[in-house]
């Protein structure tokens, strides 16, 4: 059996973590089914078997792997076709893309999404989420969640994606692969929380719709939070 431990909101069907979406998309790409094991932020005991406290964790038979890119590596090693990383050179470039996107796309989206995360998680997780994120950011969630600044930051972060996607359907070329899932995971984060802070009518908007269709064709409808 293959199990994916992934972060959920107050509803176990609402899975929203960008890193877990990377893995869902990678599993869809490989045509591998899995059982979802939703965990809340404070369900750390459910992850104890993995020897650490973060999701995604993939349990595949007797093997446990955590960290989205380590899972990509594992999947390529054990289920080579279709490929995700494109060998050692591709893997090293994907690590670079991960670091670059952690510098611009991730913080831009985080500023816009933090209030939605607070609204969608289980009330028992809220203190933990607030305290851990305020410590990490060195400011209150309210000060961090500056919407206008976040939108401007996001527009800048999306420029290279728009430029790339003007000339090709997928970030990885003619067919989707690791880079699409790595970056796409961030957009699924926003989408599942009920947001779409990029222009619908843009190369990135078109690409996201393709990626959503790719995923839904293989794994069924993607659960999305509604604003109340
Ligand atoms: N580098 C890791 C990052 C994993 C990560 O940060 N996971 C978050 C989910 S968004 C998590 O488990 N957070 C739980 C917590 O903060 O306690 C990856 O790519 O998988």
**Inter-axis angle of helices 147-165 and 105-120, nearest 10:** 120
What confidence tens digit (pLDDT) does each residue in 57-82 have? Answer: 999 999 999 999 999 999 999 999 99
Residue 179 predicted with pLDDT over 80: yes
Mean pLDDT, the chain, integer = 97
Distance CA 146, CA 168 (A): 33
Residues 6+ apart with CB under 8 A from 65: 57, 58, 71, 74
Most informative mutation of 6, 19, 94 for ligand 1 (most atoms within 8 A of CB): 19
Element spanning 215, H or E: helix 203-219
Centre of ligand 1 from the C-alpha of residue 72, in Å: 15
Whole-angstrom Cα distance, residue 13 to residue 220?
Answer: 12
Distance (angstroms) between ligand 1 centre and the Cα of 168 equals: 30
For ligand 1, pick from 55, 107, 113 the residue to mutate: most ligand atoms within 8 Å of CB: 55
Label residue 216 by pLDDT band (50, 70, 90): very high
Reported as a single tens digit per residue, the pLDDT across 26-44 is 999 999 999 999 999 999 9
Mean pLDDT, residues 163-179 = 97
Q: Show the ligand 1 pocket: residues with CB < 6 angstroms.
A: 7, 17, 19, 41, 53-56, 67-69, 132
pLDDT at 164: 97
Owner of token pair 């009518």: 201
So what's the pLDDT on residue 58?
Answer: 98
CA 159 to chain CA centroid, Å, is: 19
Tell me the percentage of the chain whose pLDDT exceeds 90: 99
Q: Taking 90 as the threshold, does the pLDDT of residue 103 lie above it?
A: yes
* Position 167 pLDDT exceeds 90: yes
CATH architecture of 2-219: 3-Layer(aba) Sandwich (3.40)
Distance between CA 110 and CA 189 in Å, rounded? 10
CA of 32 to the centre of ligand 1 (A): 22
Spell out the long-range contacts of 57-65 with Cβ–Cβ below 8 A and sequence spacing 24 or more. Answer: 57/4, 57/5, 58/2, 58/3, 58/4, 58/5, 58/23, 58/34, 59/1, 59/2, 59/3, 59/5, 60/2, 60/3, 61/1, 61/2
- What 3-state DSSP class applies to 16? coil
Sheet strands (E) in 111-172: none
Ligand 1 centroid to 127 CA: how many Å?
A: 17
| Protein residue with its CA nearest to atom 11 in ligand 1 | 54
Gap from CA of 20 to ligand 1 centroid (Å): 8
Ligand 1: which residue has its CA nearest to atom 13? 54
**pLDDT one-digit tens code per residue, 130-152:** 999 999 999 999 999 999 999 99
Q: Answer yes or no: are the C-beta atoms of 32 and 2 closer than 8 Å.
A: yes
Q: Three-state SS across 167-212?
A: CCCECCECCCCHHHHHHHHHHHHHHHCCCCCCCCCCHHHHHHHHHH
User: What distance in Å separates the CA atoms of residue 223 and residue 221, rounded to the nearest whole number?
Assistant: 6
Q: How far apart are CA 149 and CA 155, in angstroms?
A: 10
**pLDDT grade for 227, boundaries at 50, 70 and 90:** confident
User: What are the extents of the domains in the chain?
Assistant: 2-219
């Amino acid at each position: 059996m293959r199990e994916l431990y992934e972060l959920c909101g107050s509803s176990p069907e609402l899975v929203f973590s960008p890193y877990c979406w990377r893995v869902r998309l990678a599993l869809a790409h490989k045509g591998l089914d899995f059982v979802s094991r939703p965990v809340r932020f404070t369900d750390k005991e459910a992850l104890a078997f993995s020897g650490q406290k973060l999701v995604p964790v993939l349990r595949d038979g007797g093997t446990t792997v955590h960290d989205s890119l380590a899972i990509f590596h594992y999947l390529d090693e054990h289920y080579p076709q279709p490929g995700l990383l494109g060998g050692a050179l591709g893997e090293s470039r994907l690590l670079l893309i991960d670091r670059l996107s952690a510098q611009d796309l991730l913080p831009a989206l985080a500023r816009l999404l933090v209030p939605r995360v607070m609204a969608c998680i289980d009330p028992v997780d809220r203190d933990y989420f607030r305290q851990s994120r305020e410590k990490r950011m060195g400011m209150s969630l309210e000060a961090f969640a500056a919407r206008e600044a976040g939108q401007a930051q996001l527009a800048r972060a999306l420029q290279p994606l728009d430029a790339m996607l003007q000339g090709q359907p997928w970030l990885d070329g003619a067919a989707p692969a690791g880079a699409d899932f790595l970056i796409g995971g961030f957009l699924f984060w926003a989408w599942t929380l009920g947001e779409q802070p990029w222009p619908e009518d843009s190369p990135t908007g078109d690409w996201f719709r393709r990626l959503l269709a790719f995923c839904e064709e293989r794994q069924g409808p993607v659960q999305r939070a509604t604003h109340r």
